[in-house]
Amino acid sequence: MFIRTALRSTKPINTTRITSFRLINTTSIRMAADDQYSKKSEDQTPALKDRVAEVEAIIKKVGTCSLTTVGTDGSLHSRAMRPASTDKLQPVFIYDNSSHKDEEVKKDSHVNVSFLEPTKGDWISIAGKANTTTDRETVKKYFNPATKAWFGDLGDGVHDGTANDPRVTVLIVKPAEIRYFAQKDSMIGQAVEVATSALTGKVATPGAIRTITGEEAATL
């Protein structure tokens, strides 16, 4: 996870005008959540291979995710993208290096990749750092001919939208932490539990929130 701290300033801080933050990598620090829902839902009992299988199953069902980067002004920018690969739980994307995201990840490599399965409510949040490369062999490894549609052919014999186009770049996310929610009931079962909890005052736990640490992800 990441802790955001305001940049130092010689002037009094007006909290309504802070737009830039310094992100500190604190993957080894895990503060226990104090809210009742998190306390009841946190479940780390499954073995790593089982947690990995759960994450892979959610990704397979969803496909498209949201890639969030830190803008040059400190604001967050998200866009829907479909990974070229999620092997070893490292999301890989093909993108145009003339886009804003290229400037953003080069200034601040911290990113978040999230998936949401709408029919059951399963979700995944992958916090990590992005590495980019224009190495042609790496590009060819992940390039799909259909990707050309997002680049177009400029007609100059160079920027043709193929794997040899210098605009075509690979972005690989190295996870610092993967948190996900795995439902335990059907949508009807979840609705019943939530309604019952609202009436009885108990905390609803329609599923489990689990974590794969960066250290665990690095062993995959």
User: What is the distance between the alpha carbons of residues 208 and 183, in angstroms, rounded to a whole number?
Assistant: 6
**pLDDT tens, residue by residue, 60-113:** 999 999 999 999 999 999 999 999 999 999 999 999 999 999 999 999 999 999
**Residue 20 lies inside a defined structural domain of this protein:** no
**Residue 135 lies inside a defined structural domain of this protein:** yes
Range of the domain at 160: 47-184+209-217
pLDDT at 25: 43
**Residue 94 lies inside a defined structural domain of this protein:** yes
**Residue 19 lies inside a defined structural domain of this protein:** no
**Residue 93 lies inside a defined structural domain of this protein:** yes
**In terms of C-beta distances under 8 Å and separation of at least 24 residues, what long-range contacts does 47-55 make, across chains too?**
48/212, 48/216, 48/219, 51/210, 51/212, 52/89, 52/212, 52/220, 54/180, 54/182, 54/210, 55/89, 55/124, 55/178, 55/180, 55/212
Give the global pTM. Answer: 0.76
Beta strand pairing call for 65-70 and 76-81? antiparallel
**Residue 1 lies inside a defined structural domain of this protein:** no
**Residue 37 lies inside a defined structural domain of this protein:** no
**Residue 39 lies inside a defined structural domain of this protein:** no
Q: Which whole-number Å values give the CA distances from 186 to 60, 82, 119, in the listed order?
A: 19, 27, 9
pLDDT at 6: 37
pLDDT at 183: 80
- Domain of 86, CATH number, reads 2.30.110.10
Tokens found for residue 6: 């305001």
Q: Which residue has the higher pLDDT, 169 or 204?
A: 169
Q: Which residue has the higher pLDDT, 176 or 23?
A: 176
How far does the chain reach from its first CA to its final CA, in angstroms? 20
Q: Say how many domains are in the chain.
A: 1
pLDDT at 62: 95
